[in-house]
Amino acid sequence: MSWLDPLLLAKTGLRASISATIGKQADRRLLDALAAPEVKPYDFSVDATGNPREELWFDYVSDLGDGWDSTYAVAQAVSHPTLAVRDDSGATYETRGGELLVFGGDEVYPAASVAEYVERTLQPWVCAIRGQRRPPHLFAVPGNHDWYDGLVSFMRLFCQGRTLDGFKTHQRRSYFSVKLPQGWWLLGVDMQLESDIDRPQVSYFEELAKQMREGDRIILCLAEPAWLAAQTHSQESRFRLENNLRYLEEHVLGKKVSVFLAGDIHHYQRHANAEGRQKIVAGGGGAFLHPTHAYRTEATLREGFTPRKSFPSPQESRRLCWRNLGLAATSPRFGLLTGLLYLLLAWALPVNLGDANVPQSLGLVGLTLLSSPGLVLITVLALLGLIGFADKSFGRWRWAAGGLHGLAHLAAVFLLAVGVAHLMGSVLHLPFRSPGRDLLSAGLFFVGGFLAGPTLMGLYLLLSLNVFGAHANEAFSSLAIPDWKNFIRLHIGKNGELSIFPVGIRRVPRAWKPGETAREPAWIADPQERRATPPALIEPPIVL
């Protein structure tokens, strides 16, 4: 998916604005709490016959439903009955497909609807698990993209006890609780668009905490990583997110949380403290890659959580950012937009620049601007638009960053106009304001804008991220990198230990062929696809 597609950006922005407005006025979670008042966790500590489970495998996948290749590659790896994965040392670990599957947030992109969920999320997963094993029990945490239709589609699919092509759902609210073997609990929290936990949800977890024993431990699933909120949220939403999570952790759940799992940021990043508690971002279920070098990976977080591992590495992430210089090729629809804008700006100059040098051309353009209020308005609006686009993380330098970006585009339009005028007059000797010259000039203006506009935008994003640590989302959403996927496989052993297997896929397949037998998935990677890499451990298993 091209995230710089102007139509996609406009549609997604409109849906987000409408959802945010509705979410402030009518919180869907309040109605769901009234419809399902009972606080009863789904009990997976016993099997179907009522006997206690001694062990359990389950999987966590977040931020999926974007591109087919990446979403399907992760789904296929999760769906295998067994999966052997190696770490960097060459040690191999045999893992089993989980009986539980948790979707950790943003189950579909760019905006939620039943049709989008079916096409972008359920279809890849149903195709991947076909012929492999029985579909697991499914639980889901809503992310901001799931909230873009007011959570209507999410509730319809995941919170009504439906069986989605074999995947069984059990939760009745947008948050959930599952009792696991050996004193472990799995909890999912809904932060809504405003990074807020509603009062009924707090009451739900307060009642749930009364059912826990003294030595029980919790795996807490969040749609957003509160521990990185200072780098990804506004001050207001950061305050809410951190305070809500801290209240849950300290006053409701009683410091029983041993593992925090979150998506929203589309890469793998783990922090841990001296007590062995883990905070893991694993948003690699299928959405475009986010950078790892933009989130101060060396910083120590509150309560002594220090960075342990990133995937990709910050060095590799910084190298990938250079792909922004090729935006004209990777985002052609954005090039169409800049081509039209450059054409309009250059064509609006009713002066002949063909026989003038650069200083004289500047003078002519200045005089034209003074006598053309409409052209001045267009120029000012273009500058203000790019200033508004500048990342808030620039702080007080935001105006300077956006202004310089805007001036670079205006300079490119000016140089393009001078070059085209010189070509038309001095080289081709076409008379000024003749139909042939105007048509040819328009085509050259458009082509120049198609190439120069995305290139300047890419240069701006490259410098912003690699030098100033700004525009982390824009600099990588523009690239739509489908690789560097990840998911978390977890195992509760007979001794009560929790083993966490972070699985990564360095490069996903781009070519698929139909499965030939009923025992194969609907699609398998084409054997001719030699650059794709198998699932492997991002780091050795973390054992608690």
Please write the tens of the pLDDT for every residue from 522-536: 888 888 888 999 999
Torsion of CA 258, 263, 265, 269, to 10 degrees: 30
For 65-107, the pLDDT digits (tens) are: 888 899 999 999 999 999 999 999 989 999 999 999 999 988 8
Angle of helix 373-389 versus helix 398-422 axis, rounded to 10: 130
**Helix, coil or strand: residue 381:** helix
Task: Report the DSSP beta bridge partners of residue 46.
Answer: 52
Residue-averaged pLDDT of the chain:
84
Share of the chain above pLDDT 70, in %: 83
Which two tokens mark 99? Answer: 């009986």
**Helix, coil or strand: residue 174:** coil
User: Residue 489 above 50 pLDDT?
Assistant: yes
pLDDT value of position 20: 52
Single pTM value for the model: 0.88
Q: Which residue has the higher pLDDT, 394 or 6?
A: 394
**Helix, coil or strand: residue 32:** helix
Q: Using an 8 Å Cβ cutoff, are 190 and 171 in contact? A: no
User: Residue 333 above 80 pLDDT?
Assistant: yes
Span 475-502, mean pLDDT? 94
Burial of 468 (0-12, 13-18, 19+ CB in 10 A): middle
Which two tokens mark 313? Answer: 């590495």
User: Residue 233 above 70 pLDDT?
Assistant: no
**Helix, coil or strand: residue 70:** helix
Can you tell me the distance from the alpha carbon of 18 to that of 111, in angstroms, rounded to the nearest whole number? 12
Which residue carries 């873009």 as its tokens? Answer: 148
Span 26-52, mean pLDDT? 70
Span 498-515, mean pLDDT? 94
Amino acid at 313: S
Span 349-358, mean pLDDT? 59
Task: Give the contacts of 484 (CB within 8 A, at least 6 positions apart).
Answer: 267, 284, 289, 311, 312, 504, 505, 506
Closest by Cα among 312, 218, 378 to 538:
312
For 68, phi then psi, to 5°, come to: -65, -50
Q: Which residue has the higher pLDDT, 103 or 196?
A: 103
As a 3-state breakdown, the chain gives helix, strand, coil percent values, each rounded to 5, of 45, 20, 35
Span 443-471, mean pLDDT? 92
Amino acid at 524: I
In 432-507, which ranges are continuous DSSP H helix? 435-468, 472-477
pLDDT value of position 34: 46
User: Residue 484 above 90 pLDDT?
Assistant: yes
Sheet containing 278-282: which strands, arranged edge to edge? 42-43, 176-179, 184-188, 217-222, 257-262, 278-282, 268-272, 306-311
Q: Provide the pLDDT confidence category of residue 191 given band limits of 50, 70 and 90.
A: confident
Closest by Cα among 230, 238, 244, 233 to 300:
230
Task: Give the contacts of 317 (CB within 8 A, at least 6 positions apart).
Answer: 267, 291, 292, 293, 294, 310
Closest by Cα among 41, 126, 182, 49 to 490:
182
